[in-house]
């Protein structure tokens, strides 16, 4: 079944009525079945794509970076974001290294020279930075990353801001720990329209958190993180753990404070560490808090629907109904940020767009999330090449529950997983994804482009002409 969007220009304009614009061709694809064998595709074109209009090209690779500057790149390239605001918005991509000696690299999309477009701006191991995972541009124009590593006795679990991401030279990034954020095993980060910051604790039994700054309109990280309160999500009575042998945890929820309004400890509740920071995990488990524990929550993404309502999506990578990963594992949830209702968006029981049947075992360990220009949600699996898929969630009514899911791409590279899928906010038909920790050791950054067939161009041009005529008529009314 082909999801046809060739008629998008016609759908844009009807006689006497203008419809919402269809901004991307990425949701025009034929859902895949099966998987390419591990290693069957070249690492220079590692994905099996779901449309002949999609193409792929490698923008950077780890081997080349270390050839140019030995030891500059520790690999395991993870989540991706761009400089979404400010001067030269959209010019750069940023991603951390998820290694024991983590760093951050920047890719200049306007640099046609393969050898110079990529530079490490935070040297591996700076300030003991480890397991870099999170990647998010801030409302005030800087870059956030964080450590996917936390546990008893750990010194990690920190959130960092790079305050000069677009101007830093080699190893010149100014890396600042934001100590007001409680320590957890970080991955997903997301800002809502009120500039509240959401984050997770990646643990089997980990929770979701929200930081509410006292200065949401701050123009610097120093101000934004100066004062604020952190909360943990509590679904129903709280204290439950999703596990890998239990039902989805859905229903009404609320946010329970784990710090005071200034970000300091709540007496008798917050677990304070030796350095004065707060253990978000231990505090969420306190009897007076009882945050809900999900099974390895990982990424976060926020979708804004036409009404202005926002829905927060999150993955729980190792959740399962029956403890049997052979018949499918992992869930994607949605949280209505207005009503605080948690719903199950997709899991192994979701209908496969290719077959009409439950996806079952082919759905396995959704990890990352991404959102395209049309607001469609994508789930990226934490699996090795030959099994790792990227899924499209079809949610026509935008209620946070997918009517069906379709396999959008599959990775072949041996030993690798796809990670960090990011749709370019300035070019709706371009996306980026990393191929992480391949057996070859050569991480690559892949650009995927959706190029319409020739007849689509004429339809788009015709649609734009009709839109212009309609606008002119309305302006004269």
pLDDT at 253: 98
What is the tens place of the pLDDT at every residue in 186-234? 999 999 999 999 999 999 999 999 999 999 999 999 999 999 999 999 9
Return the H-helix or E-strand segment holding 411.
strand 404-411
DSSP result, 62-127 = HHHHHHHSTTS----B---EE--SSTTTTSEEEEEB-SSS--EEEEETT---TTTSEEEEE-TTGG
Q: How many domains does the chain have?
A: 2
For 95-107, write each residue's pLDDT tens digit. Answer: 999 999 999 999 9
Would you state the pLDDT for residue 452?
Answer: 72
Mean pLDDT of 378-402: 96
Question: Are 79 and 446 contacting, i.e. CB atoms less than 8 angstroms apart?
Answer: no
Residues 217 and 91 in one domain: yes
387 and 402: one domain? Answer: yes
pLDDT digits over 152-163, tens only? 899 999 999 999
- Rounded mean pLDDT, 150-178: 97
User: Is residue 17 domain-shared with residue 48, that is, in the same domain?
Assistant: no
Whether residues 172 and 129 fall in one domain = yes
- Please tell me whether residues 365 and 465 are part of one structural domain: no
In this structure, what DSSP letter does residue 275 have? T
Asked if residue 470 and residue 412 are part of one domain, the reply reads no
Residues 143, 169 within the same domain:
yes
**41, 59: one domain:** yes
Among 390, 371, 370, 393, CA closest to 381: 390
Mean pLDDT of the chain: 92
pLDDT above 60 (res 139) = yes
Same-domain status, 414 and 461: no
What tens digit of pLDDT does each residue of 300-352 get?
999 999 999 999 999 999 999 899 988 999 999 999 999 999 999 999 999 99
Residue 105 CB partners (closer than 8 Å, separation 6+): 60, 65, 73, 77, 94, 95, 97, 118, 119, 120, 121
Check whether residue 2 and residue 125 sit in a common domain.
no
- Kindly tell me if the per-residue pLDDT of 476 is higher than 80: no
201 and 293 assigned to the same domain: yes
* SS3 call for 222: helix
The single residue listed with the structure tokens 């100590």 is: 179
Confidence of residue 1 (pLDDT cuts 50, 70, 90): low
Residue 2: what pLDDT? 59
Confidence class for position 255, pLDDT limits 50, 70, 90: very high
Q: Are residues 289 and 170 in the same domain?
A: yes
Q: What is the mean pLDDT of residues 269-289?
A: 98
pLDDT of residue 473 exceeding 90: no
- Collapsing DSSP to helix, strand or coil, 456 comes out as helix
The CATH number of residue 441's host domain is: 2.120.10.30
Say which residue the tokens 């992992």 belong to: 330
Q: Say whether pTM exceeds 0.75.
A: yes
pLDDT score at 20:
43
Domain range for 231 is 26-451
pLDDT, tens digit (0-9, with 9 covering 90-100), for 401-446: 999 999 999 999 999 999 999 999 999 999 999 999 999 999 999 9
What pLDDT is stored for residue 224 in this prediction? Answer: 98
Q: Is the pLDDT of residue 258 over 90?
A: yes
| Cβ-based neighbours of 175, under 8 Å, separated by 6 or more | 104, 122, 126, 127, 129, 160, 161, 162
Average pLDDT rounded to a whole number, residues 126-154? 97
**Strand ranges for 192-306 from DSSP E:** 197-200, 204-206, 208-213, 228-235, 251-257, 294-295, 297-304
**Which residues, in sequence order, are bridge partners of residue 106?**
94, 119
Got the DSSP string for 5-30? -TTHHHHHEETTEEPPP---STT---
């Amino acid at each position: 079944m082909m999801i046809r969007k060739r008629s998008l220009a016609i759908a844009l304009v009807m006689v006497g009525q203008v419809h919402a614009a269809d901004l991307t061709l990425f949701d025009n694809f034929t859902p895949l079945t099966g998987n390419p064998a591990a290693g069957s595709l070249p690492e220079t074109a590692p994905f099996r794509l779901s449309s002949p209009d999609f193409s792929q090209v490698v923008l950077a690779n780890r081997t080349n970076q270390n050839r140019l500057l030995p030891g500059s790149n520790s690999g395991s390239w993870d989540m991706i974001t761009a400089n979404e605001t400010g001067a030269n918005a959209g010019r750069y991509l940023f991603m951390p290294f998820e290694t024991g000696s983590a760093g951050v690299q920047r890719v200049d999309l306007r640099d046609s020279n393969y050898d110079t477009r990529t530079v490490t701006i935070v040297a591996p191991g700076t300030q003991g930075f480890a397991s870099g995972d999170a990647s998010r541009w801030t409302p005030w124009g800087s870059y956030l990353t964080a450590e996917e590593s936390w546990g008893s006795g750990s010194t990690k679990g920190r959130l960092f801001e790079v305050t000069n991401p677009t101007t830093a030279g080699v190893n010149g990034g100014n890396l600042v720990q934001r100590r007001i954020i409680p320590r957890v095993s970080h991955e997903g980060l997301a800002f809502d329209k009120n500039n509240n910051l959401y984050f997770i604790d990646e643990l089997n039994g980990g929770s979701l958190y929200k930081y509410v700054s006292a200065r949401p309109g701050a123009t610097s990280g120093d101000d934004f993180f100066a004062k604020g309160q952190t909360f943990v999500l509590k679904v129903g009575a709280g204290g439950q753990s999703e596990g890998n042998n239990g039902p989805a945890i859905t229903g009404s929820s609320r946010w329970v404070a784990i710090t005071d309004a200034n970000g300091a400890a709540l007496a008798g509740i917050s677990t304070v560490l030796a350095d004065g920071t707060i253990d978000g995990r231990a505090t969420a488990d306190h009897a007076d808090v009882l945050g809900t524990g999900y099974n390895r929550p990982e990424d976060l993404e926020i979708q804004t629907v036409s009404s202005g309502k926002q829905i927060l999506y999150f993955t729980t990578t190792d959740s399962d109904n029956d403890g049997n990963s052979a018949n499918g594992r992992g869930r994607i949830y949605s949280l209505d940020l207005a009503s605080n209702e948690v719903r199950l968006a997709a899991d192994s029981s979701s209908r496969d767009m290719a077959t009409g049947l439950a996806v079952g075992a082919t759905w396995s360990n959704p990890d990352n999330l991404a959102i395209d220009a049309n607001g469609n949600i994508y789930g990226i699996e934490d699996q090795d090449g030959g099994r790792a898929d990227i899924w499209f969630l079809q949610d026509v009514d935008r209620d946070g529950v997918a009517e069906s899911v379709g396999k959008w791409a599959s990775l072949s590279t041996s030993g690798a997983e796809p990670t960090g899928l990011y749709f370019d906010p300035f070019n709706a038909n371009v996306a980026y994804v990393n191929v992480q920790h391949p057996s070859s050791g050569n991480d690559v950054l892949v650009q995927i482009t959706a190029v319409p067939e020739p007849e689509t161009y004429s339809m788009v041009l015709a649609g734009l002409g009709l839109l212009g005529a309609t606008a002119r008529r309305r302006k004269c009314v």
